[in-house]
Amino acid sequence: MITAERKPLDELIGYVRPYERILLVGCNECVTVCAAGGRKEVGLLASALRMSLLQGGKSIDIKEITLERQCDPEYMEELVAHIGGVDAIMSMACGCGVQEVARRFKDKPVFPAVNTKFMGASERQGVWAERCQGCGDCLLGLTGGICPIARCSKQLMNGPCGGSTKGKCEISPDVDCAWQLIWDRLKELGMTDRYEEIMPAKDWRTAGGGGPRKIIREDLAE
Amino acid sequence: MDNFEPVIVAFCCHYCAYTAADMAGSQRICYPANVKIVRVPCSGRVDAIHIMKAFENGADGVYVAGCLEGDCHFKNGNIKAARRVAYVRKMLDEIGLNGERLEMVLMSAGMGEHFAETARRITEKIRKLGPSPIKPAALSGAGVSRGAEAHT
């Protein structure tokens, strides 16, 4: 999933302060799962913004709505019924959702309520960790299902660097050395011969080095 | 501010604090009428939004009362509630409402006197902190607007 964290309340209060009527839009997808911008968080943020501004004697009308998905134009249409009279929109979705709102409603200022972080997985309740950088040329079949691009601090392709100590990365004792994990896994699978194969320099064009990326499926595209 | 009577919402677990309140009643132990009790099936049922809504609708203080550590009827609802309370306290500090207005307390069903003592202690603490800054603003006509979505 795409992970995100709510921005500091001070920053968000600064965004909405000049306005009277705000539409606060959550998203039922990734940001709901990582507890950053789903229906619950929309309710909490609306409440916090209202209370914060009330202390300065300012009343703000915040409409709360949570879409099934903010990154699809079909779901965006649901906002049309709520947009009338609204001065600005605050989106609690990832950066994709915020930009889709901005694209659909060109005459309204749109503000992000979360900082979009990374593509990650849930390690345990309340903990999410980076697992994929969307490099566009997946290596997991060669590395025992552990990604050296997302999980090695140096994105090394052919084994660990000298900073790997007791299975941990030199940047922090809390960070596993991805290449230690890869080696352990290959050993378990009896596939250590994979480790001996030298991987060529990675072509980063598929990872965004070639400019903004797009997928066009001819059979689906209209 | 001498005649300030705080409004305090106490979310009380059915299995401990709520029964402790009953116990206080049976024992004829007085506790301040400022405390408005909301019975919940477990303190872990109390969500951050319930606490925020209590403040938004004029509470000067809120506390969540759960079972003693290790005694939760649902294993660890009280621990989860304590974490949530800590999270909301930070949020209240961030919006200038003073996290001290919110507290997590633990007790067992037999602690009637402790229930009353807690109610007295928190009432006095909130009395010292003064009225919630939300309340005068809300009463002066700014009003509390509600969102389109229901919170359960």
pLDDT in 10s for each residue of chain A, 222 residues:
999 999 999 999 999 999 999 999 999 999 999 999 999 999 999 999 999 999 989 999 999 999 999 999 999 999 999 999 999 999 999 999 999 999 999 999 999 999 999 999 999 999 999 999 999 999 999 999 999 999 999 999 999 999 999 999 999 999 999 999 999 999 999 999 999 999 999 999 999 998 999 999 999 998
Q: What residues in B contact A9, CB-CB < 8 Å?
A: 91, 94-95
pLDDT at B138: 60
Helices (H), chain A: 9-16, 30-33, 39-55, 73-76, 80-83, 95-104, 148-151, 178-189, 193-196
A and B: number of Cβ contacts within 8 A: 76
Q: In this structure, what CATH number is given to the domain that contains residue B98? A: 3.40.50
pLDDT at B139: 56
Contacts 24+ apart (CB under 8 A), B80-85: B80/B44, B81/B42, B81/B43, B81/B44, B81/B46, B84/B46, B84/B47, B84/B48, B84/B51, B85/B51
Span B72-122, pLDDT tens digits = 999 999 999 999 999 999 999 999 999 999 999 999 999 999 999 999 999
Span B46-59, pLDDT tens digits = 999 999 999 999 99
Smallest CA–CA separation between A130 and chain B, in Å? 24
pLDDT at B148: 44
Chain-chain contact of B137 with A50 (C-beta, under 8 angstroms): no
Tokens 């709102």 label which residue?
A: A101
Mean pLDDT of B63-78: 97
pLDDT at B3: 85
Distance of CA B17 to the CA centre of its chain: 11
CB A87 within 8 A of CB A44: no
More confident residue, B146 or A181: A181
Span B12-49, pLDDT tens digits = 999 999 999 999 999 999 999 999 999 999 999 999 99
**B143 located within any domain:** no
- CA distance linking residue A79 with residue A97, whole number of Å: 13
**B20 located within any domain:** yes
pLDDT at A222: 86
Chain-chain contact of A52 with B95 (C-beta, under 8 angstroms): yes
| Contact with chain A for residue B52, Cβ under 8 A | yes
**B1 located within any domain:** no
Q: Could you tell me the CATH superfamily of domain A2-118? A: Response regulator (3.40.50.2300)
Confidence of residue B143 (pLDDT cuts 50, 70, 90): very low
∠A182-A186-A192 over CA atoms, to 5°?
Answer: 115
| Contact with chain A for residue B105, Cβ under 8 A | no
- CA distance linking residue B86 with residue B103, whole number of Å: 8
- CA distance linking residue A155 with residue B124, whole number of Å: 58
Chain-chain contact of A63 with B91 (C-beta, under 8 angstroms): no
Q: What residues in B contact A24, CB-CB < 8 Å?
A: 147
In this structure, which amino acid lies at residue A27?
A: C
Residue numbers of the domain that contains B30: 8-136
Sheet architecture: strand order including B61-66: B35-40, B8-13, B61-66, B102-106
pLDDT at B1: 56
**B58 located within any domain:** yes
B48: nearest CB among A9, A39, A44: A44
Exposure of B57 by Cβ count < 10 A (0-12 exposed, 13-18 middle, 19+ buried)?
Answer: middle
Confidence of residue B145 (pLDDT cuts 50, 70, 90): very low
| Contact with chain A for residue B137, Cβ under 8 A | yes
Sheet architecture: strand order including A114-124: A2-6, A114-124, A127-132
How many CB atoms within 10 Å of residue A72? 14
**B148 located within any domain:** no
**B146 located within any domain:** no
**B151 located within any domain:** no
**B74 located within any domain:** yes
Query: Is 60 exceeded by the pLDDT of residue B125?
Result: yes
- CA distance linking residue A204 with residue A127, whole number of Å: 29
Confidence of residue B136 (pLDDT cuts 50, 70, 90): low
Interface ipTM > 0.95: no
Tally the domains of chain B: 1
| Contact with chain A for residue B140, Cβ under 8 A | yes
How many CB atoms within 10 Å of residue A107? 5
- Write out the two tokens for A78: 């649901």
Residue range(s) of every CATH 3.40.50.2300 domain in chain A = 2-118
